């Protein structure tokens, strides 16, 4: 589906996947200086063991030779091998995934090219995600969302806001394995509106859908990020957002890039 000069597609070929991996490398390793860990990284590709089992969404600039300008990958419970954990389980204990085996989808490795961060590309990624939610009857959407940098004090307000206002209160609350509390500032000292405005766009998008955060922060020294776990129960998405995204999904045809 096009949005002006942009369109969103599912990766369908090895070249499509490499284009996504190349953009991920440029953003995470080139721009944000993550630590290269594999031979693929030395080749300028961000590739790992999860990629073969994921669906990969690509947003392309049709006026620039279909250059991939944004990407995210999605690991569906129906496509995950039984002996492979979800990516987020490397950083979080997630009891929900023990209680619910099916109809889950993990979002990860989301990024947008630095010259295209005007909001349009991320909107198209979300349309693609919601299309897959409805197509595959997904009940739980979850994933790690990151703050770039590893200095907790610099984002104390944002983390404390998430702790006081957005913390999961179900029995299945996720918890960081290497636990560090998000509760850095008393609730009375936080302006919720200001703190919400300071959050990264991906986190705000999750929260707008009724997403809740797990307990604690995970520090990723290789990617130089501070990660939180967010879960969305699709059955609890506010009605106005559910209707909006359902309409968008019904209008979207996720054709392969080379179709």
Q: Domains of the chain, with CATH numbers?
A: 2-251 (3.40.630.30)
The CA distances from residue 249 to 76, 115, 132, 186, in Å, are 18, 26, 8, 40
In sequence order, which residues have a C-beta less than 8 Å from that of residue 125 and are 6 or more positions away?
8, 57, 59, 70, 71, 72, 110, 112
Residues 49-82 pLDDT 10s: 999 999 999 999 999 999 999 999 999 999 999 9
Q: If you search the block for the tokens 């961000």, which residue do you land on?
A: 46
Q: What is the pLDDT of residue 34?
A: 81
For the chain, give the percent of residues with pLDDT over 70.
95
Residues 249-258 pLDDT 10s: 888 888 777 6
- Answer yes or no: is pLDDT of 1 > 50: no
**Residue 73 and residue 108 in contact, taking contact as beta carbons nearer than 8 Å:** yes
Residues 127-176 pLDDT 10s: 999 999 999 999 999 999 999 999 999 999 999 999 999 999 988 899 99
Q: What is the pLDDT of residue 82?
A: 92
Please give the mean pLDDT across all residues of the chain: 91
Q: What is the pLDDT of residue 38?
A: 66
Element (DSSP H or E) covering residue 14: helix 14-24
**What would the two tokens of residue 252 be?**
């979207």
């Amino acid at each position: 589906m096009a949005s002006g000069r942009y369109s969103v597609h599912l990766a369908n070929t090895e070249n499509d996947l490499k284009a996504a991996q190349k953009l991920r490398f440029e953003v995470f390793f080139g721009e944000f200086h993550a630590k290269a860990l594999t031979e693929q990284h030395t080749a300028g590709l961000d590739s790992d063991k999860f990629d073969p089992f994921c669906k990969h969404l690509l947003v392309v600039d049709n006026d620039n030779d279909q250059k991939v300008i944004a990407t995210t990958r999605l690991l569906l419970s129906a496509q995950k091998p039984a002996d492979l954990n979800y990516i987020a389980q490397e950083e979080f204990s997630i009891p929900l995934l023990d209680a619910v085996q099916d109809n889950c989808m993990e979002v990860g490795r989301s990024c947008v090219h630095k010259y295209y961060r005007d909001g349009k590309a991320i909107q198209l990624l979300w349309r693609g995600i919601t299309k897959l939610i409805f197509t595959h009857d997904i009940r739980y959407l979850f994933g790690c969302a990151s703050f770039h940098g590893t200095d907790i004090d610099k984002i104390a307000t944002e983390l404390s806001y998430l702790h006081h206002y957005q913390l999961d209160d179900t029995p299945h609350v996720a918890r960081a394995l290497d636990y560090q509390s998000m509760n850095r500032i008393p609730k009375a000292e936080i302006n919720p509106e200001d703190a919400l405005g300071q959050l990264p766009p991906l986190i705000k998008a999750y929260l707008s859908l009724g997403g809740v955060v797990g307990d604690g922060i995970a520090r990723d020294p290789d990617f130089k990020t501070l990660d939180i776990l967010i879960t969305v129960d699709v059955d609890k998405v506010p009605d106005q957002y559910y209707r909006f995204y359902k309409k968008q999904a019904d209008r979207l045809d996720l054709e392969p890039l080379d179709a």
